[in-house]
A and B are shown apart, each in its own frame.
Chain A
Amino acid sequence: MQPESAMTPGLEVTVLVSVGRHPLTGRARRADQDARGVELARSLANAQVRLLHAGMRDESSEAALRGYLGMGFTELSLLEQPEGADVLPALAEALDAMSPHLVIAGERAERGEGSGLLPYLLAERLGWPLVSGLAAVESVEEGMATLLQALPRGQRRRLKVRLPVIVTVDDAAPAPRQSAYGPARRGAFETAAGPVSDDEQWAAWQVQPARQRPKRLKIVKAASARDRFKAAAAKAEGGSGQVLTDVTPTQGAEAILTLLREEDVLR
């Protein structure tokens, strides 16, 4: 994709991959966003890409993880963890030891907590910057990466970040390539035992299928059918938002709190 000279030779990339869950049937699969992350890594010229997963190993998770191997890898590093364990310490330790230049992860997992917090907690622990919603890695030169971040409605923002960095991808990243059966079957798991930390809170939680979030109703006061149609077809305009720049964290937090109160999210 990129001219090779634009890349530092031997860029080390680690992609965090998880076991996904098909939204209709619940079958284990390669998680869509993680697979997009792998695709992004694959498209980097001159990169050494490594797959890393922390979690339980059983038949269905192994089949799902082989989905990533089928994208053209010979091995996947597996930090074996018991079910329900907090994988954060194990991942942080492994990444610290590997010290890659670039860590790519999906925005949020398709099963488990799925809070989307893991990349942030990792970044905090490692003290690395984090860029979310990545669309492309444009170039990596002399320890600086030029990244293209996806913003709503097709907008893009170019960022320059010092390596090492954690980036997350969502649906704006290029679609993953097909996973092929042959390499998936041949690929090997390189298992290592990481530190295990039990997630006590998680154990106490009760898990149930999520219900769809209620959507805010658009109240349209329209006299004619034409107006109603226009209102229905119109794109949601931001408009009423406000952009805060150069404010202190406290001011920012207050602004958020005020908004949440206005919207009746907090009472």
Chain B
Amino acid sequence: MLDILLPILLFAALAVAALGAWRRVRLWRRGRASQVSVFRGLIAMPRRYLVDLHHVVARDKVMANTHVATAGGFVAALGLAIVVHGLGLAEGVLGWLLLAASATMFAGSLFVVRRRRNPPARLSKGPWMRLPKSLMAFSLGIFVVTLPAVGVLPADAGGWLVALVLAAVVAWGLAELVVGMTWGGPMKHAFAGALHLAFHRRPERFSDTQHGGSPPTGLKALDLDDAEAPLGVGQPSDFTWNQLLGFDACVQCGRCEAVCPAFAAGQPLNPKKLIQDMVVGMAGGSDAQYAGSPYPSPERGDQPVGEHQGSPHGPIVAPASTKDGKALVDAETLWSCTTCRACVEECPMMIEHVDAIVDMRRHLTLEEGATPGKGAEVIDNLIATDNPGGFDPGGRLNWAADLELPLMADVERAEVLLWLGDGVFDMRNQRTLRALVKVLRAADVDFAVLGNEERDSGDVARRLGDEATFQSLARRNIATLSQYRFDCVVTCDPHSFHVLKNEYGAFYPEGQEAGYPVWHHSTFINQLIEAGRLRLAPGQAARVTYHDPCYLGRYNGEYEAPRAVLQALGVELVEMQRSGYRSRCCGGGGGAPVTDIPGKQRIPDMRMGDVRETQAEQVVVGCPQCTAMFEGVVPPAGDEEVAVKDIAEMVAAALDTTPAATSSAPRDTSTAQATEEVMS
């Protein structure tokens, strides 16, 4: 009897799944066009799964092995079951292989059961709670029905009642694991995830493509010359189809939620929920079915689910004219993000949260004119004065009146173009800049600055969604840069660093390209030390910890150089629990201090808490934003203030100033005096 039922069940499940797949593909196709190479993507997919995806999953060893056993066992078992039971080809070794595969899968599913017993808060509940049972049903059912096929049991063992029960168990497993894959069950992640890997919007993320070392993290440019193209994403169907596909791939593992600083601070953002909301919008409906942690709400503790709904062609954020109106997500959710990329780094499904968030911000800023907080003012300043603070652009070098910095306009060529950034207007950052100048002079580096010709890099404008202002700043900066000759650009601002290095390339005029490397000052100083150009006085006995800036670390993969410099300084480095690629954001990125969405606590306070846990006397940073955020933290009563030092300041203080070493840097002493004056 089973040999009649099983083929019917198997092929019926496959047929229904195929129908579901067709419908799901149609959902994704509601998105806008996006160029992918279908064939190459499909070829590369297994490698992307085994290498790139597994690289992320393997950060949790138990889960990785569980997944390998369960998923590997399932794929093998399903394939073999089709051959053995569907086509009745049980001969020889096939049946035994099927037994092995289903046994492996069963072993894996036991671990899934164990994990689901006390699931961490980041995991979604709801239908996900029945998944381990379905996995067991499938593996066990297939195992038992295969026993007769290999001759361990007689073909009619147990009679028709047992056969019916077994068929029902197998049918349950098939319904969840095969049909559910394309009809929106938890297993959807396997189907969508596989295709997402093949058709990813950033194929350069994967190891089968070439991307020259640093992770590809630059935002994609909006085509402003095309008057028809939507300015960002205002409704789910404005996403490209492979972005929609990516959202659908989410396994609701909540790794992104666990690392999101905005979520931890109680701001109304949870990256996992956001991705699920996009799925809701794509398919149409309300978020009532969502079974994970909701968005935090400063007033209500949690935002209850079921209040929001959307449709593929409906607005994502309710327009301002519908007061108190709700659509798919609230604007505050989108503006809470610091673009720290921690979620993207952790996501095993390679989903690009930041791209999606900025896409939606673009619509809010460019179409609705609804940048919150001080956002509109900052953008207006950038348009009128080329810096976010609205300072006189003719005063960019006022802080350095005594330093006689060589201007590019005068020297026209130099070894290093020192990009100063908007920190020139900030008294704290001026101290860092002075230290950096002192270090460069001590190493006899031939450098020059753009002075008043420099403009804001456009970082904040772009993260606030104002692509038009960003592109205008980028094009004008590029025109300025193109006038001069230099070997490399060095900057102490990781945001300028990222934008110049990874995002300006798209805006060079036809036939030109950025023919220079861009270095963060920590990298450059490390090069100087390695080349023996800097003489450091040994022996600073300090216990420090180092905070990886998001835009240096996760955005550009530079974790080593600052640590190497600290080692050369001889200080004792204690790492925070979350450091390196898991570093927690300072709260200063993505325009978050400008939009200032309230939460239960502040992100920089939490990060300074991390710093205090290490009992370090100083926290070393490499970013003007981080410095500003950390110095704004009031230490808890009774606690010592932890000094915040830029890495350039650390190096400047350690320069070997004995006469033999300083012969090449006569200006050192005057610089030090001037530094004190500014500080006092």
- Where the two chains meet, the residues of A that have a C-beta atom closer than 8 Å to any C-beta of B are 22, 24-25, 27, 29, 70-72, 177-183, 185-186
B385 lies within 8 A of A180 (CB): no
Q: List 18 A-B contacts (CB under 8 A).
A: A24-B390, A24-B393, A25-B393, A27-B383, A178-B369, A178-B370, A178-B379, A180-B365, A180-B366, A181-B365, A181-B366, A181-B367, A181-B468, A182-B367, A183-B367, A183-B369, A185-B227, A186-B227
Min CB gap B671→A, angstroms: 30
Q: How many A-B residue pairs have CB under 8 A?
A: 49
Are A182 and B384 in contact (CB-based, < 8 A)? no
- From A22, A25, A27, A71, B369 is in contact (CB under 8 Å) with A71
Contact of A24 with B384 in the complex, beta carbons under 8 Å: yes
| B368 within 8 A of partner (CB) | yes
* Alpha-carbon gap, A24 to B425, bound state (A): 15
A178 touches B384 (CB 8 A): no
Among B369, B371, B390, B466, max chain A CB count under 10 A is at: B369
Nearest A-chain residue to B467, judged by Cβ? A181
Of all chain A residues, the one with the shortest Cβ separation from B393 is: A25
- From 442 to 468 in chain B, residues with beta carbon under 8 angstroms from any chain A beta carbon are 466, 468
- Whether, in the assembled complex, B331 has its beta carbon less than 8 Å from a beta carbon of chain A, the answer is no
Q: Are B368 and A22 in contact (CB under 8 A)?
A: no
**Which residue of chain B lies nearest to A29 when distances are taken between CB atoms in the complex?**
B384
Residues of B within 8 A of A29 (CB): 380, 383-384
Q: When each residue 388-426 of chain B gets 1 if its CB lies under 8 Å from chain A and 0 otherwise, what string results?
A: 001111000000000000000000000000000000000
Chain B residues with Cβ under 8 A from A185's Cβ? 227
Chain B residues within 8 Å of A, Cβ to Cβ: 227, 231, 365-371, 375-376, 379-380, 383-385, 390-393, 466, 468
Instruction: Give bound CA distance, A123 to B145, whole Å.
Output: 95
Distance between B142 CB and nearest chain A CB, rounded to angstroms:
56
Q: Across the interface, which residues of B come within 8 angstroms of A22, CB to CB?
A: 384-385
- Distance, CA A25 to CA B396, complexed state (A): 13
Across the interface, which residues of B come within 8 angstroms of A183, CB to CB?
A: 367, 369
B373 to chain A, nearest CB (A): 11
A182 B379 Cβ-Cβ under 8 A: no
Separation of A72 and B468 alpha carbons in the complex (Å): 17
Given A178-B376, A185-B227, CB of A25 within 8 Å of CB of B385 = yes
- Cβ 8 A contact of A70, one of B369, B371, B385, B392: B369
**Given the complex, which residues of B lie within 8 Å of A71, measured CB to CB?**
369
A176's nearest neighbour on chain B, judged by CB, is B376
**B468: chain A residues within 8 A (beta carbon):** 181
Chain B residue at smallest Cβ distance from A177: B369
Inter-subunit contact B369/A24 (CB<8 Å)? no
Report the separation of the CA atoms of residues A71 and B370 in the bound assembly, to the nearest whole angstrom: 11
Contact of B367 among A24, A25, A27, A180 (CB under 8 A): A180
A17 to chain B, nearest CB (A): 17
Bound-state Cα–Cα, A186 to B466, Å: 16
- CB-defined contacts of B375 to chain A, threshold 8 Å: 178
A182 to B231, CA, bound (A): 7
Q: Which of B366, B379, B385, B466 has the most CB of A within 10 A?
A: B366
B366 with A24: CB separation less than 8 A = no
Known: A27-B384, A178-B369, A186-B227. 18 other contacts (CB 8 A): A22-B385, A24-B384, A24-B390, A24-B391, A24-B392, A25-B393, A29-B380, A29-B384, A72-B369, A178-B370, A178-B371, A179-B369, A180-B367, A180-B370, A181-B366, A181-B468, A183-B367, A183-B369
Q: Chain B residues with Cβ under 8 A from A178's Cβ?
A: 365, 369-371, 375-376, 379
Residue contact A181 to B227, C-beta cutoff 8 Å: no
Question: Which among B227, B370, B380, B384 has the greatest number of chain A C-beta atoms within 10 A?
Answer: B384
CB distance from B323 to the nearest CB of A (A): 11
Q: Which residues on the A side are within 8 Å of B365 (C-beta)? A: 178, 180-181
| Contact residues in B for A24 (Cβ distance below 8 Å) | 384-385, 390-393
Most chain A beta-carbon contacts within 10 A, residue among B227, B371, B379, B380: B380
Most buried by B among A25, A182, A183: A182
Per the bound structure, the CA–CA distance linking A180 and B383 in Å amounts to 13
* Across-interface contacts of A182 in B (CB, < 8 A): 231, 366-367
Smallest beta-carbon distance A8→chain B, Å:
21
Once bound together, how far apart are the Cα atoms of A159 and B650, in whole Å? 65
Question: Which B residues are in CB contact (< 8 Å) with A27?
Answer: 383-384
CA distance A22 to B227 in the complex (A): 28
Q: Which residues of A contact B376 (CB under 8 A)?
A: 177-178
Taking the nearest CB of chain A, how far is it from the CB of B540, in angstroms?
43
Considering the complex, give the chain B residue whose CB is closest to the CB of A185.
Answer: B227
Chain B residues near A181 (CB, 8 Å)? 231, 365-367, 466, 468
- C-alpha spacing A180/B380, complex, angstroms: 11
CB distance from A176 to the nearest CB of B (A): 9
Which residues of A have CB within 8 Å of B393? 24-25
A181 to B375, CA, bound (A): 14
Least CB distance from A117 to B in Å reads 27
Closest to B370 in A: A178
In the complex, what distance in Å separates the CA atom of A183 from the CA atom of B368?
9
Complex CA distance for A177 and B369, rounded to whole angstroms: 8
Q: In the assembled complex, how far is the CB of residue A43 from the closest CB belonging to chain B, in whole angstroms?
A: 12
A71 vs B468: C-alpha distance when bound (angstroms): 16
Q: How far is the CA of A29 from the CA of B390 in the complex (A)?
A: 14
Question: By the criterion CB–CB under 8 Å, are A180 and B368 in contact?
Answer: yes
Chain A residues, Cβ within 8 Å of B227: 185-186
Q: How far is the CB of B643 from chain A (nearest CB, A)?
A: 35
* B385: A residues at CB distance < 8 A: 22, 24-25
- Chain A contacts for B392, CB-based, 8 A: 24-25
Separation of A187 and B478 alpha carbons in the complex (Å): 29
Interface centre among A71, A181, A183 (most CB of B within 10 A): A181
Chain A residue with minimal CB distance to B366?
A181
CB distance from B235 to the nearest CB of A (A): 14
Which B residues are in CB contact (< 8 Å) with A72?
Answer: 369
Given the known inter-chain contacts A24-B390, A24-B392, A185-B227, please indicate yes or no for A180 contacting B384, CB distance below 8 A.
no
B379 & A25 in contact (Cβ 8 Å cutoff): no
Task: Give the shortest distance, in Å, between B225 (CB) and chain A (any CB).
Answer: 11
- Least CB distance from B463 to A in Å reads 16
The CB with the most chain B CB atoms within 10 A, among A72, A178, A186, is that of: A178
Closest to B367 in A: A182
Q: Write the nearest CB–CB distance from B544 to chain A, whole angstroms.
A: 40
How many whole Å from B231's CB to the nearest CB in chain A? Answer: 5
Contact B369 A180 (CB under 8 A): yes
**Distance of A258 from chain B, by nearest CB (Å):** 43
Taking a contact as CB atoms closer than 8 A, the residue among B366, B368, B384 that contacts A25 in the complex is B384
Return A33 CB to nearest CB of chain B, in Å.
15
